[in-house]
Amino acid sequence: MSVAAPGAAVVVIGNEILSGRTRDANVQTIGAALAGIGIRLREVRVIEDRPPAIIETVNALRAQYAYVFTTGGIGPTHDDITTDCVGAAFGCEVRHDPAAVELLTRYYGATEATETRLRMARVPRGATLIDNPVSTAPGFRLENVFVLPGVPRILQAMLPGVLASLPGGPPIVSHTLTAWVRESDVAIELAAVQARYPALDLGSYPFTRDGRFGTSLVVRGNAAAAVAAAASEVADFLRQRGVEFSAEAP
């Protein structure tokens, strides 16, 4: 295992994603949000709701990346095993957090704050709670691992609090040029621009719309000026080739 590198990973704990029942939405949310504060999402693993899979994956990724975000499996039912698995991954006892118990008891009321519901107040010892402005049940952070729920609406509401706790950097920006050309017809020019800007990512994504072939050309990186310059070189060769295109800057 290598030393923690910059960048982040997401672990989606999700039988429902693997089975095809549900199409994941959280990876896109987290990827875009991290890019906004200059952190690159570098790997995602979608794994089964099984303790060995969760424990091994969390341990592998927390050693490899600066930040790890898990989604899913922190509710009150039998298939919610993420908290115990993250505790096991760190060798930390999982117990009822007094502050979380108080939050949930206030939210549900004393009689409705059942043993089942208070399971959602269990976190590993040493964890910091992550505020849940929608349904109270908190997430938590343990070292560089952030444990978040799977319900997209709740995850989205919790994310600003998480991002505010991270050291921000200049955002990763991208310019997209949507060009009415087959990608094979601009491959050589595009590779030449990529070669001149090795620190940026130039991506090429073909599509068809109304029976026409098109390609989204995406220039992406941390250095806004370089991104703008490379995008302008792409626009130049498209113009020279007489290709119709539209450009979308950040």
Name the site residues for a copy of itself (rule: CB under 8 A).
Answer: 12, 15-25, 27-33, 35, 40-49, 53, 75-79, 114, 116-117, 119-120, 150-151, 153, 172, 174, 176, 183-188, 190-191, 194, 201-208, 218, 220
Comparison of 19 and 240: residue with beta carbon closer to a copy of itself = 19
Nearer to a copy of itself, 126 or 249 (CB): 249
Give me the least distance between CB of 66 and a copy of itself, in Å please: 15
Closer Cβ to a copy of itself, 59 or 194, answer by number = 194
What burial letters (b/e) apply to 62-78, b meaning 16+ CB within 10 Å?
Answer: bebbbbbbbbbbbbeee
| Chain position carrying tokens 């091994």 | 56
Q: How far is the CB of 40 from a copy of itself (least distance, A)?
A: 7
CB of 182 to a copy of itself, least distance (A): 9
Please say whether the dihedral angle defined by the alpha carbons of residues 37, 39, 41 and 47, taken in this order, is positive or negative: negative
Q: Are the C-beta atoms of 93 and 122 separated by less than 8 Å?
A: no
Q: Rounded to the nearest whole angstrom, what is the least distance from the CB of residue 126 to a copy of itself in the complex?
A: 26
DSSP sequence for 161-229: HHHHTSPP-SPPEEEEEEESS-GGGTHHHHHHHHHH-TTSEEEEEEEEETTEEEEEEEEEES-HHHHHH
Strand order across the 245-248 sheet: 201-209, 212-221, 173-179, 245-248
Shortest distance, position 161 Cβ to a copy of itself, whole Å: 19
Nearer to a copy of itself, 142 or 234 (CB): 234
Closest CB to a copy of itself among residues 76, 161? 76
